[in-house]
Chains A and B, each alone.
Chain A
Amino acid sequence: MLPDFAAQNPVAAELEKAIPGALIDAKSPTDGLVLYISSQFIAAAGNYMKEKAGFERLTAITGVDWWPREPRFEIVYFLHSIKKNARLRLVVRAKESDPIESVSRVWRGANWYEREVFDLFGVQFYNHPNLERIMMPSDWEGYPLRKDYPVHGHKYSYQDE
């Protein structure tokens, strides 16, 4: 069930009306609204936000790893409306095995941000034009920003060479 404030909030209520079942939860911390979106609806919800709700800018996409909690990933989409001077976050919760639909058809700028999330967290995006590693070398093993990836130490020893 949605909290009461989500039903009263116009953006959340309109989204719920336009795409039934997309909205799972909503929160309102000090810095704007946070909407939790069901993972299969993220591209549709993004499209709605851009075309109807006026959030024309996708500022960034990032991930948060809550390992060992399941589902472990939260993918966070930061939206911005210049006309309304408002900011909003969309959050999708995903398991390690869940692919998520890319929003790069909605906002072209999502391309690199999704590549970064894929590179550092190992989250798969489908319908992405070019899902390759962006920060790490293309033959890198593992996903550095996962919580079970070590911070220190290295795999290879150069002492014996």
Chain B
Amino acid sequence: MRRCASAWRARWLRCDGAAVSEWWTYTPADFLMFAPRIYWRLFETLNRQTWPAALLAPAAGVAWLLWVARDAARPGAGAARLAAVALALAWAAVALGFLLPLLAPIHWLAAYVAPAFGLQAALLVALAAFGGLQATASPRRRQAGLALLVYALLLHPLWPLLEGRPWTQAEAFGLAPDPTALATLGMLLLCRATTASGRVLGRVAWAVPLAWCALSAATLWTMGSAQGWALAAGALLALAAGSRRGL
């Protein structure tokens, strides 16, 4: 961690505090420090180490989705609170199970992203506790939120097959960061906070998932994976659907 901290400072700052010189000559490719095959194999390792969580976590998400869908006529606070707590656990699990042990050794940025994931987990717990969460009454938010959740839980894991990689490299919600971020954006669209503190927390809770989507999409584009477009589209859909009226 200390090594990474030094690396971070060195990467972005010179000792005199001036910004890194000739910054305009850098492209995203200059920051890609690992081969794509190594990155994809991280998920293979993750799935193997946590098996059968790669099946159980998305299955739990789908069960929640079915519960919400059945309860659509009379939105309940229980489902919203449960989702926030489950997502908090997911963000913590991604930080502790993927970012720090697997990604950080090949990408120094991961060590700095992991605390942000922890913060997101804390925000979601606070939102569940103090937000007075209810399901949204907005059809637009509900449709976009459901679409994002369906993609994150069921479709996103299919990308390895689309790109000719082994299915064992599937990225599952609750284990891998991309589907977890998109599922969180979906949940934030489906829920609304009814307390003043909840509305503030709800707005802040968009920051980390959106920032991760931007970072990961840039990484995926640099690696030549079309998966980055799906991630960017999901984040933009969430922004568009949630922009008129926040949590």
- Chain A partners chain B: no
Q: Which residues of A contact B (CB under 8 A)?
A: none
Q: Which residues of B contact A (CB under 8 A)?
A: none
